[in-house]
A and B are shown apart, each in its own frame.
Chain A
Amino acid sequence: MPDIVFMLLFFFMVSTTMKEVDMKVQMKAPEATELVKLEKKSLVTYIYVGVPMRQYQGRYGTEPRIQLNDQFATVGDIQSYIVQEREGLRENDRQLMTVSIKADHDCPMGIITDIKQALRKAQALKINYSARQMDQLTYN
């Protein structure tokens, strides 16, 4: 019995991925059906968008904000962030870099459009709109 438990323990220890960043924005992903999986985690750069968490609202307000790594950022910071992330990749992986936009389902498109324009300027053209799997899209 302890052996089995140990085996399971090792399995979970190995497979566990701790969250790399702590979220500073509230993010509930939108729903979609036609999803593709993000293959290589190391090639993915994340951009979080959402309303700041309760404890940060005093300083950053209640409008949707951008979070890069562990910090709040503005659209202007995206370009240098992408360049910096790209530098960290190997030469032949740079083409394959994917930017995953993890935005809250309720935020307005204005901020997303700004991010997209910034990504185009930074030549990070492969993007992925993070979404949750739905069996059937709910129409409203």
Chain B
Amino acid sequence: MAKRETPEVNAGSLADIAFLLLIFFLMTTTMDTDSGLGRMLPPPIPTDEPPPPPIRERNVFEVLINANNQLLVEGSPMSLRELKDAAKEFIENPMNLETLPEVVVVELPEIGTIATTPKAVISLQNDRGTQYQTYLSVQNELQRAYTELRDELSRKTFNKAYTELDTDRQRLIREVYPQKISEAEPRNVGGGS
């Protein structure tokens, strides 16, 4: 009886095909996770609502960006490089200065007595012609001021970075440094368009 040959599929090129596919997926894959600056917009203002009470000038840190991407901070020009430290000084008011926001000493669990500036508000205004990158850089610097302050406090009291704390403690720290960045209703601050 003749030996029956089992038909064989030529699998030699299988690895090559798999390789080809692998390379295809390697190339097309985009592993990037989307990231960006998170912000909350204020809810729309009802038209019949009375205007909010004015905030005292010392409690406001005014940042204006004009159409030429120049910064005017508290009435004087400033470069982006200096903005973070200026914002930090404003939020913290370490010297308890008259010109900086009112300091209120509060008692908090775990942290103890600490000087806070609950009324401090950063007001950001930009022109319609401001470049988006500049606007985002300013937002980024302001965010960095808050992040650094929170981190410093967290390291001082809990010996840990702010991001490593549990949510309760993070909330506690956020109570000391609440992030208040207010954006004015749009209008032109000058310098073009």
Contacts and interface: CB of A to CB of B under 8 A. Distances in A.
A13 B22 CA distance: 8
Q: What 5 A-B pairs come out closest when comparing CB atoms?
A: A110-B128, A12-B25, A105-B133, A130-B36, A2-B15
B7 interface: no
Interface string B138-166: 01110110010000000000000000000
A31 B21 CA distance: 34
Interface residues of B, number: 46
A106 B39 CA distance: 20
Interface of A: 1-2, 5-6, 8-9, 12-13, 15-19, 29-38, 41, 44, 98, 100-101, 103-110, 112-113, 116-117, 119-121, 123-131, 133, 137, 139-140
A124 B79 CA distance: 33
Interface of B: 14-15, 18-19, 21-22, 25-26, 28-31, 33-44, 79-81, 126-133, 135-137, 139-141, 143-144, 147, 186, 193
Contacts of A8: 22
Main secondary structure of the interface of A (DSSP, over half): mixed
B132 A125 contact: no
B50 to A, nearest CB: 19
Contact of B131 (A16, A32, A105, A133): A105
